[in-house]
């Protein structure tokens, strides 16, 4: 339970604060939106669906308002692996108890997958703003009007807000819509707090993002990262992390010829880790096989996918 944070001079009648879940099918841009709203990279993103696996809080404190965004995994029909069921559980669990949901859809049109998300939002009975993302991809902006008309008939949305998360278009309009719907109350987090997640979690996610981006189509979904050690010593921090895959053939791909692939992943990760911690870093990576881990609940627990930790677990 997060206790309200008393701020010097902050009057609870003047201040606003609330939890706002970002929901949507995989790949609609939820994590990109959260990062761009926060003005810093917190959540990992990629062109491949099912990038985000665990709910992640990102706190934006601006003027008198504090928005506690909850980035969530993409909602989809999770009939398959334990990992997929876990991911959808994280997303749906995050909708319970938030003050507001932002349902992201793509500007290119309503999708069958959006219907699954809409149903989950209706079941959660949470007020919802529909964010029409990726408007930069629309060649003909007049296409937005029929889409907005369709969306307004799909659900009783509080508002429809077209944006481009990637190009920072209309994000202030979205923030204004969000803030005006937050309850008047004291802030829950200190002004300099950005997330409730540990450094090890964020570093592990950076490594996973780089592996996802470098590795081919199938492999990313069978990759987990465990950070064994972080030493924040001067002048150079040290990070040891293991990339787990499910099969020997995947291990060979992840290491690459003469270790070239692993070296590239490590190099990409080092840059982001240095930006995160603000100092030089040395990143050492290993690849290990844990057979079919994504189908085994006990392996998920070992890799930090704890089912009891829901998105609003910080409340």
Binding residues vs ligand GTP (CB under 6 A): 24, 26-32, 45-47, 49-52, 73-74, 133-134, 136-137, 164-167
Exactly one of 46, 52, 54, 250 binds Mg ion (CB under 5 A); that residue is 52
Q: Which range of residues in 22-30, 86-94, 162-170, 298-306 is near Mg ion by CB under 5 A?
A: 22-30
29 binds, among Mg ion, ligand GTP, none (CB under 5 to 8 A by kind): ligand GTP
Beta-bridge mates of residue 236: 280
* Shortest Å distance, C-beta 186 to Mg ion: 30
The verdict on 31 binding Mg ion (CB under 5 A) reads yes
Q: Which two tokens stand for residue 160?
A: 């429809």
Q: Which two tokens stand for residue 131?
A: 């964010």
* Shortest Å distance, C-beta 47 to ligand GTP: 4
* Shortest Å distance, C-beta 46 to Mg ion: 8
The whole-angstrom separation of Cα 14 and Cα 11 is 5
Strand ranges (DSSP E) for the chain? 16-23, 56-62, 65-71, 100-106, 128-133, 159-162, 224-231, 236-245, 280-289
Closer to ligand GTP by CB, 182 or 212: give it. Answer: 212
Closer to ligand GTP by CB, 70 or 281: give it. Answer: 70
185 CB contacts (<8 Å, ≥6 apart)?
4, 12, 15, 16, 17, 18
* Shortest Å distance, C-beta 279 to Mg ion: 27
CB 271 within 8 Å of CB 291? no
The whole-angstrom separation of Cα 59 and Cα 67 is 6
Residues that bind Mg ion (CB under 5 A): 30-31, 51-52
């Amino acid at each position: 339970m997060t206790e309200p944070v008393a701020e010097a001079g902050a009057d609870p009648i003047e201040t606003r604060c609330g939890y706002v879940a970002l929901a949507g099918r995989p790949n609609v841009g939820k994590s990109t939106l959260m990062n761009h709203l926060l003005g810093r990279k917190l959540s990992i993103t990629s062109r491949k669906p099912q990038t985000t696996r665990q709910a992640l809080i990102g706190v934006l404190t601006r003027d008198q308002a504090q928005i506690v965004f909850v980035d969530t995994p993409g909602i989809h029909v999770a009939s398959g692996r334990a990992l997929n069921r876990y991911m959808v559980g994280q997303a749906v669990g995050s909708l319970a108890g938030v003050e507001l949901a932002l349902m992201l859809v793509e500007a290119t049109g309503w999708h069958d997958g959006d219907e699954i998300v809409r149903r989950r939002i209706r079941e959660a009975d949470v007020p919802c703003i529909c964010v029409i993302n990726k408007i930069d991809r629309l060649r003909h902006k007049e296409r937005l009007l029929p889409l907005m008309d369709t969306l307004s008939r799909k659900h009783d949305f509080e508002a429809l807000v077209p944006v481009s998360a990637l190009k920072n278009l209309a994000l202030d309009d979205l923030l204004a819509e969000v803030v005006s719907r937050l309850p008047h109350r004291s802030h829950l987090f200190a002004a300099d707090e950005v997330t409730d997640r540990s450094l090890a979690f964020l570093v592990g996610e950076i490594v996973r993002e780089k592996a996802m981006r470098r590795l081919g189509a199938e492999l990313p979904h069978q990759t987990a990262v465990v950070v064994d050690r972080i030493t924040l010593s001067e002048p150079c921090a040290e990070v040891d992390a293991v990339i787990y895959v499910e099969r020997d053939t995947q291990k060979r791909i992840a290491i690459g010829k003469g270790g070239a692939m692993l070296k590239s992943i490590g190099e990409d990760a080092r840059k982001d880790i240095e930006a995160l911690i603000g100092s030089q870093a040395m990143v050492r990576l290993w690849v290990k096989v844990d057979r079919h881990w994504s189908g085994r609940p006990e392996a998920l627990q070992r890799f930090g996918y704890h089912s009891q930790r829901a998105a609003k677990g910080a409340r």
